[in-house]
Amino acid sequence: MIEVDGLTKVFRRDGEEVPVLRGVSLQVARGEIFGVIGRSGAGKSTLVRCVNLLERPTSGRVRVAGRDMTALDGAGLREARRDIGMIFQHFNLLSSRTVLGNVALPLELAGRSREESRREAAPLVELVGLSALAGRYPAELSGGQKQRVGIARALASRPEVLLCDEATSALDPETTQSILALLKDIQQKLGLTVVLITHEMQVIQAVCERVAVLDRGEVVEQGPVFQVFTAPRSEVTRGLVRDVVDRELPPWLRARLAAGAPAGTSPIVRIIFTGPSATTPVIAQAVRRFDVLLNIVQGHVDYIQGQPYGNIIVEAEGAPAAVEAALAWIRGQDLQAEILGHVARDG
């Protein structure tokens, strides 16, 4: 549905050229929710604005639904943009218009009568759950309600693609979840293709199927959300994922960790469970089968795209051969077990 190929964008600032996008390529399939994540200044907003040509790329190509956006201008571009709705972090509503008036605006701008526009806008106001507030003005709405208006307005021209630029960044976590649930719901009902720009991994985790990580204008990693979260390949991604999947050792343990395996120490082992193995009682079974103790020192089970992902750190106590056999058995159960170092046994 969206193909971005070798996209670059160079801004001029104080007579200097500032490259903001440096050869971005990505493909978004029809009907998926695709996330683009990156730190502030990575170029996310510029990227999404290049998709609907609000910003003209310096070089490279953008195709949406098979149409070369970069080759269009004037009336052709205006028509193509009707297929692409957009929602913004700060909603961008007209304060002088009611909820219904805001949602009807794109239709009026496209030349429809006021009555017809409002008639067509009403079901969209209902779709986002605001029928009871249709006559209110933006100043009388909460942030979440304003974003619902933004979503309904973006849908007014019946777009196939919805671009969301930090759509939940101004909202509290609970409202964020309700807006994400709404986006997912309408994406499924209307078969929309959604591109979601954010700096929060939680947002990606909640609704996206695939994700691209943008850093300093480059895509450093992209793939299915579960894969990128559980096996991040770049340092930037590891930093972003840390907010969601905490892979850090607690400081007291890190301080005690020794390299090698001196006598009188026990290994500290990170055990990673993914998919179906996350619900099997592997640790209990290993303790029962081998003469070892596996003391849990830290543990999380996260759900990413509905799949469990467990990250458990244990201290493995027992004779070295028994510990080795237990870890080999755990690995045979399709789990990862990585020795992080050794700690002196208490007492």
Ligand X SMILES: Nc1ncnc2c1ncn2[C@@H]1O[C@H](COP(=O)(O)OP(=O)(O)OP(=O)(O)O)[C@@H](O)[C@H]1O
Binding site for ligand X (CB under 6 A): 11, 13, 18, 20, 38, 40-46, 199
d(CA 240, CA 260): 31
Query: Nearer Cβ to ligand X, position 176 or 311?
Result: 176
Token code pair at residue 143: 């942030």
Residue 99: CB atoms within 10 Å: 28
Residue 2: CB atoms within 10 Å: 22
97 DSSP assignment: S
We find the least distance from the C-beta atom of residue 260 to ligand X, in angstroms, to be: 43
Query: Nearer Cβ to ligand X, position 11 or 303?
Result: 11
Query: Nearer Cβ to ligand X, position 10 or 339?
Result: 10
Q: Are 311 and 299 in contact (CB under 8 A)?
A: yes
Residue 155: name the closest of 197, 190, 115 by CA: 190
We find the least distance from the C-beta atom of residue 41 to ligand X, in angstroms, to be: 4
We find the least distance from the C-beta atom of residue 18 to ligand X, in angstroms, to be: 6
What would the DSSP string read from start to end of 98-129? -HHHHHHHHHHHTT--HHHHHHHHHHHHHHTT
Query: Nearer Cβ to ligand X, position 44 or 210?
Result: 44
We find the least distance from the C-beta atom of residue 43 to ligand X, in angstroms, to be: 4
Query: Nearer Cβ to ligand X, position 112 or 199?
Result: 199
We find the least distance from the C-beta atom of residue 126 to ligand X, in angstroms, to be: 32
Q: Are 89 and 169 in contact (CB under 8 A)?
A: yes
We find the least distance from the C-beta atom of residue 236 to ligand X, in angstroms, to be: 12
Q: Are 222 and 242 in contact (CB under 8 A)?
A: no
Query: Nearer Cβ to ligand X, position 120 or 218?
Result: 218
Phi and psi dihedrals of 187, rounded to 5? -60, -40
We find the least distance from the C-beta atom of residue 120 to ligand X, in angstroms, to be: 32
Query: Nearer Cβ to ligand X, position 20 or 107?
Result: 20
d(CA 252, CA 249): 8
Residue 274: CB atoms within 10 Å: 19
Query: Nearer Cβ to ligand X, position 197 or 312?
Result: 197
Query: Nearer Cβ to ligand X, position 213 or 286?
Result: 213
What would the DSSP string read from start to end of 308-330? EEEEEEEEEES-HHHHHHHHHHH
Residue 87: name the closest of 103, 71, 67, 100 by CA: 103
We find the least distance from the C-beta atom of residue 177 to ligand X, in angstroms, to be: 20
Instruction: Indicate if the alpha-carbon torsion angle 278, 283, 288, 290 is positive or negative.
Output: positive
We find the least distance from the C-beta atom of residue 237 to ligand X, in angstroms, to be: 15
Q: Are 292 and 322 in contact (CB under 8 A)?
A: yes
